[in-house]
Amino acid sequence: MRMSNIILKISDGELFNFFDSEEKKEFTVGSKRTCDVVVKGFFVAPEQLRFIQKNNVWYVEDLTPEGYKSEVLTGGKRFKRPVVRFDSDIVIRKTGEKRGDTVKISSVKKITRKRGGSNFDLTQKTLTVVGRDPSCDIVVDNPMVSEKHFRIVYDGSDYYIEDLRSIGGTFVNNRKIRRARLGDYDRISIPSAAYTFYERKLLYSTSPAGIQIDAVGVTKDVADRKSHGKVRLVNAVSFRIEPGAFVAIVGGSGTGKSTLLDCLNGLRPATDGGIYYDTNAYYDNIRSYKNVIGYVPQKDIMHDDLTVETALRYTAMLRMRSKMPGEEIRARVKEAIADVKLSGRENLKISALSGGQRKRVSIAMELLSDPKVIFLDEPTSGLSPDLDLEMMDLLKELAGKGRTIVVITHAMENLDKCDRIAFLGKGGRLCFYGEHKDVFRYFNRKSYSRIFAALNDDTLCAYFESKYRSGEYYKELYSAFCEQYADAKACMLPPETGKKTLRQTAEETSAAEVRARRTLADKAAEWKAAIKAKRAARHPAEEERHTAEEETRPAAVRTQDCTAEDAGFRPEREAAKLSPEEESARAGGDAESALPADVDIPEAAPAQMTESHDKVHEYAEETHVSDDLAEDPVDAPPRPLAEKKRGRPRKKQPSPVAETAADGTEESAADDSVNAGAEEAQNDVHALSEGTNDAVKKQSAPRKKKAASAAAEEEDEA
């Protein structure tokens, strides 16, 4: 074989190894540690073979000692001469063993790559090296990548990947490997770069602009200690963050913003749904992505006594590879300081910086590792409006340099800098995801404070969530996710067939309240039945008479009794409904109350309608029951709605126990007689006590008179 260097494949059973002579003219093979190629077979001699190159031809010399337990074969035959030409496989085996443990050494055909193309055709080169060194076949310019990180070897039939003792490690399908055989669709990942092996090619899996993040039906439930149940913080959120996009997550307090951010970065994984980075399941490959993600918490974690440069240099020494030269570390620190626009303040202490400058230092610490995704929790908290603008401009600039930026913020003044905005409502519902220019028209509000007030209302929040799911963006997203991800249909909310009106949303809300009241009505029925059973056991004759009278009562009277089926809801609400003109007149001409049931709320509805929560709740009580409850008629009459609007005092509804007492006056006659007897006995006791007191007074009167006369006599004698 005429080649300047030789590549060997050493196979020991299922184990294998590769060796590149790298311009060496001579090297040895054996079990001794000082050998160039170490083979750990128990029957291998300390120095078994020597490879020698002469005139671009490789020869093999057998170094096996006489009488040793192993032998060397070439071409299936033993060595006839001490030195033979290496033109076929070499086998080392135990002496006399035709079958058993063997070590096979074969040469890999050397192929020279033809450069060109964005994807790497691995059939054009025997050895493909990936790393930071400019001499590598694939150069990855990232401080977390070693000079030579890993290599792929093609032996003519199969492909093998081997880690070159890198600091960050090489991952194949989220498993850290030393060496492995590659198959189609295997994912190879190193810090800041990922590849997919397919049909003898190495395909880029990471966009140069950043990482694409797909949230597919993300749901987060936590345990409630008081109720011993579950509380939903994020409710089936689905959206896509494009590579290199600047996205803001906003909403009122307690709407699940931080929880959603932690679901995206993996600090608090979602209980249902999935997160995908570049279409790869993030939770399954979280180890391989740990070096490409940056996270800036709300509270800055820095040592106040250090200068800016010193703090960044210590951070770089902790996060970068241990053998990184000092000059390269200083260059990386200087670049990070320039990215956050802190040049000229390198020698200032952290304690002397303003709030905005401290936040910039925190961002610079994350930029040292050149992440592809940066998550920030309230980076503008406590900053003045001008500093808030500078911070948003900085994040926008960083997103333009090939990074995906996701930020949580309460500052609304500079949201126009973001590419997309996600509005979360009460209960972690995604009510809007789109561009800034569409926000006010979508919500039909003139300010962010009014939007937050609307998203804090259950009815309005459900309405806007259904409105988002009825849009074209969500329909296309649903179709794409169901095609790409197998479990998308199980965790995503399906698109709405038509945009729900506020009237329909109010009906569903009222229906849920009816279900809750019926649960209480079932308990009331149980109490009523228990009371009747107890009275029947005490007075069976009275109970039989009451049952007979109940059957003879008119139906109109019997319907006044509350049962488990109809408690909490009244059908006369339908009869009490007013016409749209009357509703408008009594509501003061409100446009919302005058809408018919089949009319949607227009996009440019009056502010008087859209900004009043009381009108919404009032309107919900006027609407019909939803379809699933309309099939179950209720008999008990309610208080008319017109009476409520006129301001008449509401009559107190009797409790189930009170209703039972009112209905069973006749059946409690025996109890009344017993009570009357008890009252007579109490009166007798009272009279007896009064008579006893009078007798005591009569007996004590003569004694008092005698004592008074004796006292008068003593005074006369004195």
Per-residue pLDDT at 144 exceeds 60: yes
pTM across the whole model: 0.59
Q: What angle do CA 517, 519, 524 make, to 5 degrees?
A: 90
Cβ atoms of 289 and 369 within 8 Å: the answer is no
Nearby residues of 656 by Cβ (< 8 Å), 6 or more positions away: 524, 525, 527, 528, 562, 567
- Could you read off the pLDDT of 555-570 as tens digits, one per residue? 544 444 444 344 444 4
Most confident of 248-262, 494-508, 572-586: 248-262
Whole-number pLDDT of residue 108: 80
Tell me the pLDDT band of 141, cut-offs 50, 70 and 90: confident
Per-residue pLDDT at 182 exceeds 60: yes
C-alpha R_g of the chain: 43
Q: What does the pLDDT average to over 433-438?
A: 94
Taking Cα atoms as reference points, which of 367, 365, 357, 420 lies closest to residue 398? 367
- Segments in 292-384 forming alpha helices (H): 308-319, 326-339, 355-367
Per-residue pLDDT at 363 exceeds 80: yes
Whole-number pLDDT of residue 510: 64
- Could you read off the pLDDT of 103-120 as tens digits, one per residue? 888 888 665 554 444 567
In terms of pLDDT, which residue wins out, 29 or 76? Answer: 29
Q: Which helix (H) or strand (E) holds 455?
A: helix 448-455
Whole-number pLDDT of residue 89: 85
Using CA atoms, how far residue 524 sits from 511, 527, 563, 568, 654, in Å, is 20, 5, 8, 11, 12
Q: Which residues pair with 194 in a beta bridge?
A: 189
Nearby residues of 589 by Cβ (< 8 Å), 6 or more positions away: none
Q: Give the position of tokens 């956050």.
A: 340
- Could you read off the pLDDT of 214-237 as tens digits, one per residue? 999 999 999 888 878 889 999 999
Whole-number pLDDT of residue 408: 94
Whole-number pLDDT of residue 259: 94
Whole-number pLDDT of residue 275: 94
Whole-number pLDDT of residue 562: 43
Per-residue pLDDT at 642 exceeds 80: no
Using a pLDDT cut of 90, give the percent of the chain over it: 19
Question: CA-CA distance, 438 to 418, in Å (whole number)?
Answer: 13
* 169 HSE (CA, 13 A, CB side): 13
Whole-number pLDDT of residue 442: 93
Q: Which two tokens mark 434?
A: 């789109």
Whole-number pLDDT of residue 256: 92
- Could you read off the pLDDT of 515-539 as tens digits, one per residue? 666 666 677 778 778 887 877 777 7
Q: Which two tokens mark 132?
A: 């930071």
Q: Tell me the residue length of the chain.
A: 718
E strand residue ranges, 412-532: 420-425, 429-434
> Residue 26: what are its φ and ψ, rounded to 5°?
-155, 140
Whole-number pLDDT of residue 193: 81
Per-residue pLDDT at 280 exceeds 80: yes
Q: Give the position of tokens 């029957």.
A: 43
Using CA atoms, how far residue 115 sits from 20, 125, 138, 473, in Å, is 21, 10, 11, 41
Whole-number pLDDT of residue 431: 95
Per-residue pLDDT at 545 exceeds 80: no
Q: Which two tokens mark 80?
A: 């006839």
DSSP result, 537-599: HH-HHHHHHHHHHHHHS-HHHHTTS--TTTTT--THHHHTPPPHHHHHHHTTS-TTTT--TT-
Q: Which of 13-17, 199-203, 252-256, 383-387 has the weakest average pLDDT?
A: 13-17
- Could you read off the pLDDT of 617-634 as tens digits, one per residue? 444 444 443 333 333 333
Whole-number mean pLDDT of the chain? 76
* DSSP secondary structure letter of residue 527: H
Nearby residues of 645 by Cβ (< 8 Å), 6 or more positions away: 586
Per-residue pLDDT at 640 exceeds 70: no
Burial class (CB in 10 A: 0-12, 13-18, 19+), 135: exposed
Question: CA-CA distance, 609 to 592, in Å (whole number)?
Answer: 6
Q: What angle do CA 315, 316, 319 make, to 5 degrees?
A: 85
- Could you read off the pLDDT of 232-277 as tens digits, one per residue? 999 999 999 999 999 999 998 889 999 999 999 999 999 999 999 8
Whole-number pLDDT of residue 315: 87
Using CA atoms, how far residue 240 sits from 262, 279, 407, in Å, is 16, 11, 15
Q: Listing from the earlier edge strand, what are the strands of the sheet with 179-181?
A: 138-139, 127-131, 150-154, 159-163, 179-181
Whole-number pLDDT of residue 327: 82
Whole-number pLDDT of residue 472: 92
Question: CA-CA distance, 527 to 133, in Å (whole number)?
Answer: 82
Q: What angle do CA 311, 316, 322 make, to 5 degrees?
A: 135
Q: What does the pLDDT average to over 641-668?
A: 46
Whole-number pLDDT of residue 627: 39
